[in-house]
Structure 1
Amino acid sequence: MDSFPAYFPLAGRKVVIAGVGDAADAKARLFDGSPATVVRLEGHEAYLPGSYTGATLAFIASQDEVFVQAAAGAARAARVLVNVVDRPDLCDFNTPAVIDRGEVVAAVGTGGAAPVLATMLRNDIEAQVPEGMGRVAALLARFQGEVRKALPTLHERRAFLRDAVLGEAAQAAREGDMEKAGQLFREALARGAGRKGMVRFVAGKGPADLLTLRAVRALGAADVLVIDADADPEVIKMARRDAERMDPATATADHLIQLAAEGRQIVRLITQAVDPAQIHALTQAGVAIEVLLAAPSA
């Protein structure tokens, strides 16, 4: 990737916007409803490093080249990261197209090269993210400590949270009933992580766009990945980056059975036919299995 996306906490932070006009106003609107303190600067005040002291970010919007250069220099003298509207060459960071759902924020960036494309992609993604997802994130944040205490094992905690975001508590949060959501979440936590382990065999030869949606979701939910050496790198990229990686030579049937007994979600990325002996051993041990082959090409 050409740019690394990062999120800056805004609570208690100062954001400076130097300049006037539509572009400056548009940057200010990005922070509507945020906990940041937004400071607007005009004229000579924008040329003083002291005007930017303590700021986390500075946005500069002007058609006046003298103003832009002086304001950017002053902000950098105050050791503040700078974004100059429509001038990628003068930017320390680029402003992405933002999907704002409160605690849930998604962004699409093109490195400043194609903001229209970023906006179009944002609109596509925004339609897939319900308005209430920010409340679901707030619910999970509220119970974060309790979840860690009740489920100290990482894979159990992940399994519980994956189920929770699709469960009744999350639905209540999306609908705005946070009291009910809290009650349902606490009841679910008392029941603990009930997800059974599973081994999914996923076609890893590629190309990635032939994977079924079910296979893509399996990769995203995997706790353990067993990857054949010649698997398509683009397919591997679809898996969770923090999933445990296991060499195929050590992924014996007994080992997979043990992991499944612990509740692990295992994805075996295969480039050859599934081993019938391994399937038989897993089935005999009562391990749930799913074979997810690529969709046929057109």
Structure 2
Amino acid sequence: MIETLPLFHCIAGQPVVVLGVGEAAEAKRRLVERAGGLVVEDLQEGIDKGARLAFIAHEADTAAEADAIRARCAGLLVNATDRPALCDFTVPSILDRSPVLVAIGTGGASAGLAKQLRLRLEQILPQSLGALASALGKARSALRARFPDAGERRRALDAALGIGGELDVLSEAAEGRVEQWLSGAEPLPAGVVEIVLRSADPEDLTLREARLMGSADVVAFEAGVPVQILDRARADASRVAVAPGPVPAGQGLIVVLRSKPKTT
């Protein structure tokens, strides 16, 4: 289970309340402005203008708590610096490959940990990743025309963007190959694939098994398959509990998870 729901909030051109003085408040103002928001430094003015978010960076606990309660009662979501108990949302560490954004959060437990994870990922993800996203966005109509079925389209993209694929996301040159890939891309076969679990640890899934679960249209699973394994599937994939035995083929890619074999 995840403790918070990650969302990307569009605030361009919208009023956002930022209260407080000092370095923490200035950092929040810069963050809001970076996303195109309009900083409002008076809570009542922000409420009157229809603000939906409030960043509260007062040094005094009493002032922070009072403004957090007032903002929340007015319907605003609140982030109070260094006060997790007052927060409706937390601010992640952001890796920017616009339009690709990677947000890393720890639920307020450790901003330092989130920062170090971002710095590691900065070394891995190429600067060209944003250009690849833009190229795929421009090719959306052509991609839908070539693969009218959503499942086929998803599987073709998964294969192309995966490790060693023509559009491997870690390749610096991938964005220049979108048109060429699309002109020759073929539908990938669907069907039923069985995965017999070796343990309850999702880290024991092979790369191929993890890729199949991420691409599956339907995940069928026997009793005893742990939820942490099921959570590796696409969030919008259908989940179906099945009894031991053959699973009939259907439309799209069906991944069948078999419980860990019993040892004798």
Tell me what 1:56 maps to: 52
The 5 A counterparts of 1:78-117 are: 78-117=74-113
Q: Distance in 2 between matches of 1:235 and 1:102?
A: 31
Corresponding residue for residue 6 of structure 1:
7
Secondary structure at 1:55's aligned position in 2?
A: coil
- The DSSP-based 3-state class of the residue aligned with 1:240 is coil
Q: Equivalent pairs: percent with the same residue? A: 34
Report the AA paired with residue 37 of structure 1: G
- CA deviation vs aligned residue, 1:209-246 (integer Å, no higher than 9, x gap): 33233322232222332322222332222222322345
Task: Give matches, 1:102-181, under 5 Å.
Answer: 102-166=98-162, 168=166, 174-175=172-173, 181=176
Partners of 2:244 and 2:195 in 1: how far apart? 18
Q: Aligned in 2, Cα 1:153/1:83: closer, same or farther, shift over 3 Å?
A: same
1:83 CA displacement: 0.9
Q: Contact 1:136–1:174 (CA<8 Å) still a contact in 2? A: no
Is the contact between residue 191 and residue 254 of structure 2 (CA under 8 Å) also seen in structure 1?
Answer: yes
Find the partner of 1:196 among 165, 189, 214: 189
One-letter amino acid of the counterpart of residue 255, structure 2: V
Q: Check 1:251–1:129 CA distance in 2 against 1; reply closer, same or farther (3 A cut).
A: farther
Structure with more helix by fraction: 1
Q: Gaps (5+ residues) in structure 1?
A: 274-298
Q: Which amino acid aligns with 1:269?
A: L
Letter in 2 for 1:242: D
What corresponds to 1:37 in structure 2?
Answer: 37
Aligned to 1:267: 255
Following superposition, the deviation at residue 98 of structure 1 comes to 2.4
Rg (Cα) greater in structure? 1
Taking structure 1 as reference, are residues 210 and 270 closer, same or farther at Cα in structure 2, changes over 3 Å only?
same
Matches within 5 A, 1:242-257: 242-246=236-240, 248=242, 252=246, 255-256=248-249
Q: 1 CA distance for matches of 2:116 and 2:171?
A: 28
Q: In structure 2, do the counterparts of structure 1 residues 134 and 14 end up closer, same or farther at CA, with 3 Å as the change threshold? A: farther
Q: How far does residue 171 in structure 1 lie from its aligned partner after superposition? A: 6.9
* Greater mean alpha carbon deviation, residues 198-207 or residues 50-59: 198-207
Corresponding residue pairs, total:
256
Letter in 2 for 1:143: A
Task: Find out whether 1:231 has 2:232 as its counterpart.
Answer: no
TM-score by length of 2: 0.78
Correspondence list, 1:282-293, <5 A: none
TM-score with structure 1 setting the length = 0.70
The DSSP-based 3-state class of the residue aligned with 1:26 is helix
Give the SS at the match of 1:206. coil
Please provide the CA RMSD for this pair. 3.3
- Structure 2 residues without counterparts, runs of 5 or longer: none
1:19/1:40 contact within 8 Å kept: no
Other structure's SS at 1:59 match: strand
Q: What secondary structure does 2:199 align onto?
A: coil
Matching residue's letter, 2:258: I
